[in-house]
């Protein structure tokens, strides 16, 4: 293992920009030696040119991190959404909250369904972030807080029912997700209008 790492580092040094540039300059020194320009000091000339080349070579640029592309991220959110739907089915929400959660699920299903909406989301990092946050954080936290709070409400009656908070939270999330859907729809509408203007201008 240590030998392979050492060999990898040695190969990396050989392939580095500094070594390549220094070697090219060193070859110039050898040419000067063979033509008699360097004279008896040719080793100093060759080494000096190699060192100068290594110094002027541009620094190595580290490789970019290999992050998943937007399509892969969308696939991950789609898988997480399926897990979220299973969780919501097990919680046992009160009727009004269940109805609002169902409406929210419908919009999320439409946005995550492979098709044009998914293509637009793959090109919209902010929209993808909003969707992923709703699926992975906002909805699970809202439902989990309700599930934990309703147990305490049985011990301390007279408090504000936890389902009111849940219903309000689901309504706000539904509005946020629908705004995202409206934004994607408007983007498609602008694209269609632009194409119409392009055809109109071309026909003149």
DSSP string, 78-144: HHHHHHHHHHHHHH---HHHHHHHHHHHHHHHHHHSTTHHHHHHHT-HHHHHHHHHIIIIIHHHHHH
* Same-domain status, 50 and 74: no
Task: Report whether 101 contacts 93 (CB < 8 A).
Answer: yes
**Burial (CB count within 10 angstroms: exposed 0-12, middle 13-18, buried 19+), residue 13:** exposed
DSSP-derived letter for residue 36 is: T
Residue 145 lies in a domain: yes
Can you read off the two tokens belonging to residue 92? 């046992």
Residues 170-196 as b or e (16 or more Cβ within 10 Å = b): beebbebbeebbeebeeeeeeeeeeee
Mean pLDDT in the chain? 77
Residue 65 lies in a domain: no
* Same-domain status, 40 and 83: no
* Same-domain status, 17 and 93: no
* Same-domain status, 110 and 177: yes
Between 30 and 164, the higher pLDDT residue: 164
Confidence of residue 183 (pLDDT cuts 50, 70, 90): confident
3-class secondary structure, 202: helix
* Same-domain status, 83 and 157: yes
Q: What is the pLDDT of residue 175?
A: 95
Residue reference for tokens 């090109």: 123
Smallest CA-to-CA distance from 25 within 2, 1, 3, 56 is with 56
Residue 61 lies in a domain: no
Tallying the residues shown for the chain, one arrives at 204
Residue 46 lies in a domain: yes
pTM over 0.85: no
Q: Lowest-confidence range among 64-73, 79-88, 93-102, 163-172?
A: 64-73
* Same-domain status, 132 and 175: yes
* Same-domain status, 112 and 19: no
Residues 23-39: what's their mean pLDDT? 62
* Same-domain status, 78 and 174: yes
* Same-domain status, 44 and 77: no
Q: How many domains are there within the chain?
A: 2
* Same-domain status, 198 and 134: yes
Residues 178-197: what's their mean pLDDT? 87
Residue 2 lies in a domain: no
**Of 16, 34, 56, which residue is a domain's last?**
56
Residue 43 lies in a domain: yes
Residues 48-56: what's their mean pLDDT? 62
* Same-domain status, 104 and 156: yes
Res. 28: pLDDT tops 50: yes
Structural domain boundaries, residue 174 = 70-203
Residue 155 lies in a domain: yes
Residues 90-99: what's their mean pLDDT? 90
Res. 152: pLDDT tops 60: yes
Residue 202 to residue 69: CA distance in whole angstroms: 36
Smallest CA-to-CA distance from 176 within 133, 146, 115, 136 is with 133
* Same-domain status, 84 and 107: yes
Task: Report whether 108 contacts 81 (CB < 8 A).
Answer: yes
Q: What is the pLDDT of residue 21?
A: 66
Res. 80: pLDDT tops 80: yes
Can you read off the two tokens belonging to residue 103? 């409406």
Residue 193 lies in a domain: yes
Residues 105-128: what's their mean pLDDT? 84
Res. 137: pLDDT tops 90: yes
Res. 68: pLDDT tops 80: no
Res. 105: pLDDT tops 90: yes
Task: Report whether 157 contacts 104 (CB < 8 A).
Answer: no
Residue 86 to residue 122: CA distance in whole angstroms: 25
Q: What is the pLDDT of residue 7?
A: 45
């Amino acid at each position: 293992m240590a030998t392979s790492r050492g060999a990898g580092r040695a190969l990396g040094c050989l392939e580095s920009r500094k070594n390549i540039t220094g070697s090219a300059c060193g070859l110039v020194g050898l040419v000067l030696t063979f033509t008699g320009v360097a004279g008896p000091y040719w080793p100093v000339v060759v080494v000096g040119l190699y060192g100068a080349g290594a110094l002027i070579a541009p620094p190595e640029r580290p490789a970019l991190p290999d992050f998943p592309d937007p399509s892969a991220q969308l696939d991950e959110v789609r898988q997480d959404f399926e897990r979220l739907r299973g969780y919501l089915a097990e919680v046992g929400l009160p009727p009004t909250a269940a109805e609002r959660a169902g409406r929210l699920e419908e919009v999320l299903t439409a946005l995550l369904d492979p098709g044009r909406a998914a293509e637009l989301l793959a090109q919209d990092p902010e929209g993808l972030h909003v969707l992923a946050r709703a699926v992975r954080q906002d909805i699970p936290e809202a439902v989990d807080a309700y599930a934990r709070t309703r147990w305490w409400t049985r011990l301390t009656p007279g408090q504000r029912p936890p389902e009111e908070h849940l219903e309000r939270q689901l309504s706000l999330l539904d509005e946020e997700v629908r705004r995202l859907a409206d934004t994607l729809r408007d983007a498609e509408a602008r694209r269609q209008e632009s194409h119409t203007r392009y055809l109109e201008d071309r026909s003149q």
